[in-house]
Structure formats: C-alpha cells, structure tokens
C-alpha cells in the first residue's frame, strides 16, 4: 500500500521527468487552489483528461483532449476560460 504524501499523489501524481526537457504544443488546466484541483481530479469525467500535476494549481492535460475537457467541465457546471498561448 502506497502512502500518499500529497493529497493529489493518488489522484494526479506530480509529473516525473527523466531529465531536462522542453515540451511544445502542451495544454494545461489552471485553477485557483489545491482544493479545486483535488475536486476536479476526483471527478472521473474530468480527471480522465488530466495526466499529471505540475503544481498545486496547474495540471497537464492529455494531448488532444482539451475540447473534451472543456465540455466535461461545462457539463459539470464550471465555466472555464479557454486561452491559447500565454495570453493572460
């Protein structure tokens, strides 16, 4: 039995790179708080589109699943902002 040190370790583990890397064409989910990320990861309709967390408030989205994630978030009553690039 693994002992989770972080509330998200079992739901959405931290990205575990093998070394320095740069990933392009990536997509992220950004939230306001750890609690919100825990809540979203726990929802199977949403969590299935997330691959790993980068921090307590940022998660890596499965490539190509951005639209489905937005649909799932909307279906769950959220109103996510969709942004392309680094625009704020």
Enumerate binding residues for another protein (CB under 8 A).
Answer: 11, 13, 15-32, 36, 41, 43-48, 51-52, 54-55, 57-58, 60-64, 66, 69-70, 73, 78-86
> Is residue 12 within 8 Å of 59, Cβ to Cβ?
yes
Q: Which is nearer to another protein, 7 or 78 (CB)?
A: 78
CB of 70 to another protein, least distance (A): 5
Cα 87 from chain centre:
19
> Is residue 69 within 8 Å of 61, Cβ to Cβ?
yes
CB of 72 to another protein, least distance (A): 9
Coil, strand, or helix at residue 37? helix
CB of 5 to another protein, least distance (A): 15
């Amino acid at each position: 039995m693994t002992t989770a040190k972080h509330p998200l370790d079992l739901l959405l583990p931290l990205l575990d790179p093998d070394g320095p890397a740069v990933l392009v064409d990536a997509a992220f989910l950004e939230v306001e708080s750890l609690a919100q990320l825990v809540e979203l990861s726990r929802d199977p309709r949403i969590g299935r589109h997330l691959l790993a967390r980068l921090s307590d408030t940022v998660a890596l989205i499965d490539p190509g699943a951005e639209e489905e994630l937005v649909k799932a978030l909307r279906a769950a009553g959220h109103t996510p902002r969709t942004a392309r690039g680094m625009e704020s």
